[in-house]
Structure 1
Amino acid sequence: MKVGILTNIAASSRGDVEPYVALAKGLKARGHEVVLVCEHKYVGFVSEHGVECEGCVGPELPSDKFPGALRRLRRFIARNFLSQAEAVRSAFSDVDGVISSESLFSFEVGQSLAESLGCSFLPAFYSPLGSTSTFACPFLVPPIKNNRFANRLSRRLAARLVRRLTRPPLNVARRSILGLPEKDRSAPGVLGMIDAGLPVLYGFSPALLPKPNDWHESAHVVGYWMLHPNDGWQASRDLERFVEDGDPPVAIALGRGNAFGIKRVGAGRYWSEVQQALAQADLRGVVITAGYPVPSGEGKTDRAFFVRSVPYSWLFSRTSAVVHHCGAGTTGAVLRSGVPSVAIPAAFDQSFWAAQLEGAGLSTRALPMRRFSASRLARLLRQAVDEPRFAQSAKAIAAAMSSEDGVSEGARLAEEYLQVGGVETRRSGKDVPKACLGDG
Structure 2
Amino acid sequence: MKSHPESLIPGGTKIRDDGRIEVNLDSSACRAVAEFISPAPPPPEEWGQPPPYEEIERAIKIKLNIVIQVVGSRGDVQPFIALGNELQKHGHRVRLATHDTFATFVRDSGLEFYPIGGDPAELMAYMVKNPGLIPQLHSLRAGDIQKKREMVAEMLDGCWRSCIEDDPVSGKPFVAEAIIANPPSFAHVHCAQALGIPLHLMFTMPWTSTRAVPHPLANLKYSETTQEMANYWSYAIVEWLTWQGLGDVINKWRGKLDLEPVPVTEGPMLAETLKIPFTYCWSPALMAKPVDWPAHIDVCGFFFRDPPEYKPPQSLEAFLANGPEPVYIGFGSIVIDDPEQFTATILEAVRRAGTRAIISRGWSKLGGEPSDSVYYIDDCPHEWLFQNVSAVVHHGGAGTTACGLRNGCPTAIVPFFGDQPFWGNLIASSGSGPKPIPYREVNADGLAEAIRLCLEPKTRQAAQEIATKMKHESGVTAAVASFHRNLPVEQMQCNLLPDRAATWVCKTSSKSVRLSKLAAQILVDHLRIDKKKLQVYETKQIIIENRRWDPVTGTASAALGTGTDMVKSTADIFLKPYKEYQGLQRGRPSTSSSNGPLMPRSLSTPPPGTTIQQTGNPMPKHATTDLFPTESPQTQPENTGPSSLQTTTTVASASAKSIGKFLGTYFKGVMVDIPLATAEGLRAVPRFYGEETKTYAPVTDWKSGLIVGCTQFGQGVVDGVTGLVTHPIKGAKEEGALGVVKGLAKGTVGVGVEVGGAALGFVAYPGQGICRSIHASMRSKTRKELIKARYREGEYLAGPGNVSGAENVDRGAMIRAFENLRRGDKGKQRFDTWDLARSQEAR
What TM-score comes out, normalization by structure 2 length?
A: 0.47
The answer for the alignment partner of 1:361 in structure 2 is 431
Evaluate the alpha carbon distance shift between residue 305 and residue 439 of structure 1 in structure 2; reply closer, same or farther with a 3 A threshold.
farther
Cα drift, residue 113 of structure 1: 0.7
2:350 equivalent in structure 1: 278
Question: What are the within-5 Å matches in structure 2 for residues 116-127 of structure 1?
Answer: 116-127=194-205
1:150 to 227, 230, 233: 230
**Whole-Å Cα distance in 2 between the matches of residues 303 and 435 of structure 1?**
59
| Equivalent in the alignment of 2:752 | none
Residue 418 (structure 1) shift: 4.0
Which residue pairs with 2:70 in the alignment? 7
SS at match of 1:162: helix
Given that 1:140 and 1:349 are in contact with CA atoms closer than 8 Å, whether structure 2 keeps it comes out as no
Pick from 249, 259, 263: which aligns with 1:184?
263
Shift of 1:77: 4.8
* Distance change >3 Å, CA 61–CA 411, structure 1 → 2: closer
Q: How far 1:61 sits from its partner (Å)? A: 5.5
Q: State the SS of the aligned residue for 1:208.
A: coil
2:250: which partner in 1? 170
Letter in 2 for 1:172: K
What is the CA-CA distance between 1:140 and the residue it aligns to? 2.5
- Tell me the residue number matched to 1:269: 341
Q: 1:308 aligns with which of 360, 369, 378?
A: 378
Amino acid at match of 1:46: V
Does the 8 A contact of 2:196 with 2:540 survive in 1? no
Within a 5 Å distance, the mapping from 1:4-403 to structure 2 comes to: 4-8=67-71, 12-58=72-118, 66-67=129-130, 68-69=134-135, 72=140, 75-93=146-164, 94-103=175-184, 106=185, 108-140=186-218, 147-176=227-256, 178-189=257-268, 191-194=269-272, 197-230=275-308, 232-256=309-333, 258-259=334-335, 262-263=336-337, 266-296=338-368, 300-385=370-455, 387-403=456-472
- The alignment's TM-score, normalised by the length of structure 1, stands at 0.88
Distance 1:292 1:79, change over 3 A: closer
1:405 CA displacement: 0.7
Tell me the distance in 2 between the aligned counterparts of 1:437 and 1:405: 32
CA RMSD of aligned residues (A): 2.7
> What percent of counterpart residues are identical?
26
Deviation at 1:89, TM superposition (A): 1.9
Partner deviation per Cα, 1:38-82 (whole Å, 9 max, x = no partner): 111111111110110012321566988745428957634532333
Q: Is the 8 A contact 2:118 2:152 kept in 1?
A: no
Are residues 430 and 62 of structure 1, via their aligned partners in 2, closer, same or farther at CA, if it must alter by over 3 Å?
same
Q: 1:347 to 1:61 in 2, by over 3 A?
A: closer
Secondary structure, in 3 states, of the residue corresponding to 2:265? coil
Are residues 18 and 133 of structure 1, via their aligned partners in 2, closer, same or farther at CA, if it must alter by over 3 Å?
same
Kindly tell me: are residues 39 and 315 of structure 1, through their superposed partners in 2, closer, same or farther at Cα, counting changes over 3 Å?
Answer: same
1-side partners of 2:362 and 2:242: how far apart? 30
SS at match of 1:35: strand
Number of aligned positions between the proteins: 420
> How far did residue 235 of structure 1 move?
1.2
Give 1:169 deviation, angstroms. 1.2
Matched, 1:404 2:476: no
Question: Per chain length, whose mean CA-contact separation is higher, i.e. which structure has more relative contact order (CA < 8 Å, sep 6+)?
Answer: 1
| In structure 1, C-alpha distance between the alignment counterparts of 2:236 and 2:279, rounded to whole Å | 20
Other structure's SS at 1:37 match: strand
Q: Which runs of 5+ in 1 are unaligned?
A: none
State the alpha-carbon separation in 1 of the partners of residues 383 and 280 from structure 2.
21
Q: Give SS of 1:210's match.
A: coil
- Find the aligned partners of 1:219 and 1:409 in 2 and give their Cα distance: 12
Whether contact under 8 Å (1:194, 1:200) holds in the other structure is no
1:234-284 CA deviation, whole Å, 9 max, x = no partner? 11121122123322111112222x43xx32xx1001111111211111100
3-state SS of paired residue (1:317): coil
Q: Secondary structure at the match of 1:5?
A: strand
Query: Which AA in structure 2 matches 1:210?
Result: A
Output the CA distance in 2 between the equivalents of 1:317 and 1:195.
Answer: 43
What SS does the aligned partner of 1:390 have? helix
CA distance in 1, matches of 2:229, 2:188: 31
C-alpha distance in structure 2 between counterparts of 1:334 and 1:142, whole Å: 30
Cα displacement (A) at 1:364:
1.2
Give deviations 1:187-206, integer Å, cap 9, x for gaps: 244x4433663211111111
Deviations 1:282-340 (A, max 9, x none): 1001111114334536xx32211100121111111221111111111111111101111
Q: Distance in 2 between matches of 1:174 and 1:383?
A: 51
The separation in 2 between residues aligned to 1:435 and 1:348, in whole angstroms, is: 34
2:193 and 2:300 map into 1 onto residues whose CA distance is 26
Paired residues of 2:367 and 2:376 also in contact (CA < 8 A): no
Deviation string, structure 1 residues 377-433 (Cα, Å, up to 9, x no partner): 112211211x211111100011001011111121222234345365835757799xx
CA distance in 2, matches of 1:124, 1:274: 34
Asked which structure has the greater CA Rg, the reply is 2
User: Cα deviations across residues 321-369 of structure 1 (Å, max 9, x unaligned)?
Assistant: 1111111111111110111111211211111111111011111122211
* Distance across 2 between alignment mates of 1:63 and 1:402: 35
Aligned AA (2:149): A
1:126-147 superposed Cα distances (whole Å, 9 cap, x missing partner): 1111101111101225899x92
Please give the alpha-carbon distance, in whole angstroms, between the structure 2 residues aligned to 1:142 and 1:306: 40
Q: Give the partner amino acid of 2:176.
A: V
After superposition, what is the alpha-carbon deviation per residue over 1:156-213, rounded to whole angstroms, capped at 9, x for unaligned?
A: 101212322232111111112x121222223244x44336632111111111011001
- Matched residues in 2 for 1:129 and 1:77: separation? 22
Look up the equivalent residue of 2:301 and give its one-letter code: G
Q: Aligned partners of 1:129 and 1:137: how far apart in 2?
A: 7
Residues 198 and 539, structure 2, Cα contact 8 Å, conserved in 1: no
In structure 1, what is the Cα distance between the partners aligned to 2:235 and 2:161? 33
The answer to whether the 8 Å contact 1:198/1:435 transfers is: no
Q: Residue 289 of structure 1 aligns to which amino acid in structure 2?
A: R
Aligned to 2:386, the other structure's residue is in SS state helix
